[in-house]
Amino acid sequence: MKRLLLLAFLLAGCSSAPFFDALPAEDNGQYYFEHPGKPAVIIVHGLTATPWEVRTLSIYLSEHNYTVLTPVLAGHGRSPAELEKTTWRDWYHNVNESHRRLAETSPRVFVIGISTGGSLAIELAKEHDLAGAILIGTPVTLRDSRTKFAVAASHVLRWTDRLVLPEEDGHYYPVMPTKTVAELNRLILHTTRSAPGVEEPVFLIQSRVDPTVDPSSANDLYVLLGSADKHMLWLDSVTHTVIRDDPDGVVFAEIEKFLRTH
């Protein structure tokens, strides 16, 4: 009986649909805005998303004379089936290559990560000498407790549904491979172990009502990170991707201030 109850729990909100159209290429590819000799910023999108997620922030920072590069993470911008084939190390490879490219020409390189992109940013900051890192809605604990069963569920269930808002249609996958949820868990575990090795300045941004990431994650990261220069910004945004819910431009201004002062 317990096994049946667990299975029913895992299946809630899940999908068995076998085919999904590929995302359109328009607006979902890499953005690159170059300002020779100026500080550079890598902006890393979240899981199942595309660089479209960070488009407005990319343009804003470019207008403030930062070189900006927004890589497409492996398996993203195509189809959920392509994402299913990847691991977090594949995603990190794209971020690491972005750093290699920018470090050749820019005097200082920052990284900004959204959600899973924040986890990848932690790893980059541990591995390289960056000017600073900004972590937005970065997970230690996810609100949906079912995610901890992803490894077991992946043997019987291929996809799990996710909410895509009308304005996000065509830029996010409507489902997430269950194997990818398990891979996210591995990444979170890895980066919590990596966090004490991060010594660069860090700016944490977190919504108190984030529907995806438990807000306690920001406090946990604040404690775990080895940096002596740590800042926190709490918001009341009702969306997980807070940079897209910033009508007064407060978040963008705070991000640019951190970059400018470091």
pLDDT tens, position by position, for the chain (262 residues)? 334 334 444 444 554 444 455 555 555 668 899 999 999 999 999 998 999 999 999 999 999 999 999 999 999 988 889 999 999 999 999 999 999 999 999 999 999 999 999 999 999 999 999 999 999 999 998 876 565 655 555 555 665 766 545 455 567 777 778 888 889 999 999 999 999 999 999 999 999 988 889 999 999 999 999 999 999 999 987 676 788 777 678 899 999 999 999 9
126 and 194 in contact (C-beta within 8 Å)? yes
Burial class (CB in 10 A: 0-12, 13-18, 19+), 57: buried
How many structural domains is the chain composed of?
1
In a domain, 108, yes or no: yes
In a domain, 86, yes or no: yes
Burial class (CB in 10 A: 0-12, 13-18, 19+), 18: exposed
The pLDDT assigned to 1 comes to: 39
Q: Identify which of 211, 10, 252, 258 has the alpha carbon closest to the alpha carbon of residue 115.
A: 211
In a domain, 23, yes or no: no
The pLDDT assigned to 25 comes to: 52
The pLDDT assigned to 89 comes to: 98
In a domain, 112, yes or no: yes
The DSSP call for residue 24 is P
The pLDDT assigned to 109 comes to: 98
Given its phi and psi angles, is residue 52 left (phi above 0), alpha (psi -120 to 50 degrees) or beta? alpha
Q: What is the 3-state secondary structure (H, E, C) of 44-101?
A: ECCCCCCHHHHHHHHHHHHHCCCEEEECCCCCCCCCHHHHHCCCHHHHHHHHHHHHHH
Amino acid letter, residue 174: P
- How wide is the angle at C-alpha 244 spanned by C-alphas 164 and 250, nearest 5°? 160
In a domain, 26, yes or no: no
The pLDDT assigned to 8 comes to: 42
Say which CATH number the domain at 88 has: 3.40.50.1820
In a domain, 159, yes or no: no
The pLDDT assigned to 168 comes to: 57
The packing angle between helices 178-194 and 88-103, to 10°, is 50
Q: What is the CA radius of gyration of the chain?
A: 18
Model pTM score: 0.87
The pLDDT assigned to 142 comes to: 84
Range of 224's domain?
A: 31-141+187-261
42 strand-pairing partners: 69, 111
In a domain, 192, yes or no: yes
Both structure tokens of 107: 């005097």
In a domain, 173, yes or no: no
